[in-house]
Amino acid sequence: MKIKHPVTRRSVDARQASDQASSQPTNTRTFPKGFYWGVGTSSYQIEGAWNENGKGVSIWDTYTHKPGNIKNNDTGDLANDHYHRYREDVALMKEIGVNSYRFSIAWPRIFPEGTGQANPKGLDFYSRLVDELKAAGIEPFATLYHWDLPQTLQDKYGGWQSKDTAKAFADYAGYIAEHLGDRVKHFFTINEFRSFVEGGYQGFDTQVGGGKVLHLGGAPGLKLSNGDLNQVRHHAVLGHGLAVKAIRSRGRSGTKVGFAENMRIAVPVIETPEYIKAAERATRELNADFTTVMLEGRYTEEYLKETGKDAPKFTDDELKTIASPLDFVGINVYKPNTYVAPSDDPLGYRHIPINASHPKMQSEWHVFDPQCLYWAPHHVQSLWGAKSIFITENGCAASDVIADDGKVYDSDRVMFLRSYLAQLQRATADGVPVSGYFLWSGQDNFEWIYGYGNRFGLIYVDFKTQKRTPKLSAQWFREAVRRNAVV
């Protein structure tokens, strides 16, 4: 048997001429031509300027201003001061070489009261941001709702507890499509339905010192019953559907729209047709309340059976609106939700527990398994025949620090990105229609109830001085973007 020795004649040559093609690893995994490479952020997490230029108060302003809700009582009042530093931030993105950027629009900047009178200065900020991006050769992708609801709608309607909020959302979405649609071609309606609905409207209790119990989750900090919560879920997907219709009727003909959901992903333990089928079925049921109803226009039998008397109230007309045709599906993918195996019971699958020793990234919820970035788009195509899929978020928090030489060596984030992106490339090589990837996040930012403790950025932010320092991972990502490939 012949054993290949690593030091071949070829690799010696390669070292001598390191700038030649022969020095490149040969198993480069290339992405499709025209692939969108971007980074993502959201308004409340980076903008600051919470009360400037006519902006209305959002539920996250209210929530963070109440002591005890957020780690260290951090707030987004200043955050990354992106509202004033957006030019520098676009220049940094250009340096990384991304060709696209996913940001969100703060609804209360546009309509301070949620509906009614628009605030021209609010729109003006996003208009200037979009111009700056275009001039840098970066395609803008706008998310319309990344959780910062106008406080007025919370006070007046109880937020998403009412259909009136869904209707107001559609009006605001149509207004944006009308006013930015000349330059913004891609819109995401709502970011992570499950996160803001379950976190904000039910949340969870956690024991702190002295027998005190803290209620956590996020704004508006409610604790609804299961039935009321299911109705909120329904209003959220209805808001999405109404917004899609409004964008279609008030936007330009080339305007494209989809949602961005943190889908629950079931990963087959073993890659056989039986296990894969089981994982598909599980994924469909696990997302019955959001993704599945938006793509199928019906609640699954299992969901209606399981929720029973707590099932949402809905009409056929609403289901039609909820499933309005989309141009693409956006999914935020961080971790597998579950591992599954086939089973003889009627559902056809069973859950395999995640072992306690399973590797995790810094956030305690963040189970590490690159395979989920293969299976997530795979399931979306096989279950619903999606023609275009965007990975609207993927990334990880790490315990980044500035080293003595002034740099940030986030080798764990590089490992994370390399291994997850290899699985995404595997999906594209299998013919899964993935159109782009937005790394979360462009910069360290306000990580909701975790405050500024969990850093997700490619760029390190010193929140005292607002100094930005690109990390090692930014350099790594730049190379991936440049090659349109991972190695």
Residues at the site binding ligand GBH, with contacts judged by CB under 6 A: 42, 45, 191-192, 195, 262, 332, 334, 365, 393, 440, 447, 456
Residue identified by tokens 């597998």 is: 336
Mapped onto helix, strand or coil, the DSSP state of residue 443 is strand
Which residue, 201 or 334, has its beta carbon nearer to ligand GBH?
Answer: 334
Phi-psi region of 114 (alpha: psi -120 to 50; beta: other; left: phi over 0): left
384 exposure class (CB count in 10 Å sphere: 0-12, 13-18, 19+): middle
The one-character DSSP state at 8 is: -
Evaluate whether 106 touches 150 at the Cβ level (below 8 Å). Answer: no
- Closest CB 309 distance from ligand GBH, rounded Å: 25
- If the CB atoms of residues 289 and 393 are measured against ligand GBH, the closer one turns out to be 393
Cβ nearer to ligand GBH, comparing 321 with 371: 371
The end-to-end CA distance of the chain, in Å, is: 29
CB 331 to ligand GBH: min, Å:
11
Give the Cα-Cα-Cα angle 150, 155, 159 (nearest 5 degrees): 60
Q: Catalytic site residues?
A: 192, 393
Q: Tell me how far, at minimum, the Cβ of 329 lies from ligand GBH, in Å.
A: 16
Q: Looking at beta carbons only, is 129 or 367 nearer to ligand GBH? A: 367
d(CA 456, CA 394): 10
Minimum Å gap between C-beta 416 and ligand GBH is 13
The distance of closest approach from Cβ of residue 19 to ligand GBH in the complex, given in angstroms and rounded to an integer, is 38
Whether omega for the bond prior to residue 220 falls within 30 degrees of 0, making it cis, is yes
* Residue 260 vs 323, nearer CB to ligand GBH: 260
Outline where 181-206 has alpha helix (H): 193-201
Helix (H), strand (E) at residue 266: strand 266-268
